[in-house]
Amino acid sequence: MSDSRRVEIEYCTQCRWLPRAAWLAQELLTTFETELTELALKPGKGGVFVVRVGDEVVWDRREQGFPEPTAVKRAVRDRVAPGRSLGHSDGAGRE
């Protein structure tokens, strides 16, 4: 059973997406510094850019394109800190 407060960002080394993955990791760690138990960067290949919380894929570039940080923060928040406000960025895209 995986830790549901562990985030993994798998990125394509061939595409040189480490800076993008590291930046997103920093955004998530800054926002959820007390909620997350671990954030891992996982080198991959073939154009992969996937964000997982525990075993659940919450963002896949192949299906959803590159994520905006607020979209990933909402997806992570919904799993690690439901009900928590993300402040000014929380209302984006909501009706």
pLDDT digits (tens, 9 = 90+) for 54-72: 999 999 999 999 988 999 9
86 CB-contact burial (10 Å; exposed 0-12 / middle 13-18 / buried 19+): middle
Please name every residue paired with 20 in a beta bridge, in sequence order, or none if there are none.
Answer: none
End-to-end CA distance of the chain: 35
**What average pLDDT does the segment 76-80 reach?**
94
Q: Where are the beta strands (DSSP E) in the chain?
A: 6-12, 38-44, 49-53, 56-60
Percent of the chain with pLDDT over 90: 77
Asked if residue 9 has pLDDT above 50, the reply is yes
